[in-house]
Amino acid sequence: MSKKIITISREFGSGGKYIGILVAKKLGIPFYDKDIIEKIAEESGFVDEFIKRVSEYAPSKSIFAYSFIGRNAAGESIEDKIFAIQKRVISELAEKGPCVIVGRSADYILKDKFDTLNVFIYADMKEKIKRTMSFKGVNQKQAEKLIKETDKKRSINYKYYTGQDWGERTNYMLMLNSTELGVEKTADFIAEIYKKETEKE
Q: Residue 163: which of 111, 128, 123, 86 has the closest Cα? A: 111
Q: Select 88 or 185, whichever has its Cβ closest to a copy of itself.
A: 185
Q: Select 96 or 169, whichever has its Cβ closest to a copy of itself.
A: 169
Q: Select 78 or 187, whichever has its Cβ closest to a copy of itself.
A: 187
- Give the nearest distance from C-beta 180 to a copy of itself in angstroms: 5
Residues 124-183 that bind a copy of itself (CB under 8 A): 167, 169-170, 172-177, 180-181
- Give the nearest distance from C-beta 115 to a copy of itself in angstroms: 10
- Give the nearest distance from C-beta 83 to a copy of itself in angstroms: 26
The reply to whether 185 sits near a copy of itself by the rule CB under 8 A is yes
Asked whether 103 and 8 are in contact (CB, 8 A), the reply is yes
Q: Select 64 or 122, whichever has its Cβ closest to a copy of itself.
A: 122
The reply to whether 36 sits near a copy of itself by the rule CB under 8 A is no
- Give the nearest distance from C-beta 31 to a copy of itself in angstroms: 22
> Which residues are at the interface with a copy of itself (CB under 8 A)?
120, 122, 167, 169-170, 172-177, 180-181, 185, 188-189, 192-193, 196-197
